[in-house]
Amino acid sequence: MKIRFWGVRGSIASPGQATVRYGGNTTCIEIRTDHNELIILDAGTGIFPLSQTLLTELPVQANVFITHSHWDHIQGLPFFIPNFIPGNTLRLHGAFDPVSGKGVEQVMAVQLQYSYFPVREAEMKARIEYVTLSPEQSLQVGSATITPYLMNHPVIDFGYRIDCAGKSIFFTGDHEPPYNIYEPGDEAHGEYQGFVEEKLAAIHKAMQGVDVLIADSSYTHAEYAAKKGWGHGTFDTSIQSALKVGAKVLFCTHHEPTRSDDALEAAFEAALRTNPLGDARLSVRLAREGDTFEF
C-alpha cells in the first residue's frame, strides 16, 4: 500500500513561512492499495490539491472516509474538483450523528447551502453516494477491508483500520486517550475507571499489530493539562500507544496550528527523549505534507 499526506495541520489551515516545511493544510490522507484503489481519509483543505492530481486519471472513483464532522476535517469537500465533472463518483462514508439524527449526508448538505457556497449539490455533475457506518462493521473497498472504531472526541469520531493483502494501517482521526473524569476517592471513581480501561483495551485491540499507525499528536505533555477534554492526544500518548500495540511505523499528525516547523521539530525531539523506544522495532516520524510512504 501507499500513503500520501495532503494535510497534516489541526483545527485551522495555517499557511505561511513558519509552516512551509511540514505544510499548512488540514487533515487529508490518500491511500492507494496495491491495485491502485483510491481511499481518502478525511477531507480537510488538503483534499483540494489532492483533487487536482486526480484530473490525470479520470474517471475517478473516490472513497472518502470522514472521521468526524468538525470543520477542519470536512471543509475541503466542496472544492473536490472531480465532483464538478460527469462520470466521476464520490462515495462519502461517515458516522450517524445522534444530535441531528442524520447520517453522513449532512456533511455535504450543510456546506452546500447558498449561504456558504455558490454551487448546490444538485448542480454538481459527479455521482455522490453516502454510506453511514456503524462501529466495528467492516466494509470492502476493492481489495481493502475498512473497519471503523469509536474513538474519544467531543463528537462521534471514527478511527479507521485498513487491511489489505496482509498489510494494515490505523488512523485515529482526532483522539484523546480516555481518562477518569472523577477524582480518586470520589464514589464514582472506581466504576468509571473500569470503563476507561475497557475503552482503552478496545482501542488498542483495534490497533494491534498494524504496520502503520497515524495518530493525533497535537500537544506536548506540558501543554496537555490546559487542553484536557478538548479531544486530542500528545506526542507521548501516541508513542506509548504505538509501543503497546506493536506498530512498526508511527506518524504523528494533526500538528498544532500555532506551532512553527522549528517548534514542531523541537517538541517532537523532546518527546522522543522522554519516551525511549528501547529494543522496539518502531520508527517514529512527523507527518509532512507531500510525503509518501510505501510498504
How far apart are alpha carbons 109 and 94 in whole angstroms?
14
Q: How many beta carbons lie within 10 A of that of residue 151, not counting itself?
A: 27
Tell me, what's the pLDDT at 279? Answer: 87
pTM of full prediction above 0.85: yes
Extract the residue ranges of the chain whose pLDDT is less than 70.
none
| Residue range(s) defining the domain that contains residue 13 | 2-294
- Tell me the β-bridge partners of 9: 26, 255
Cell numbers that stand for 255 in this block: 500538528
CATH of residue 135's domain is 3.60.15.10
Tell me, what's the pLDDT at 100? Answer: 87
Structural domains of the chain, count: 1
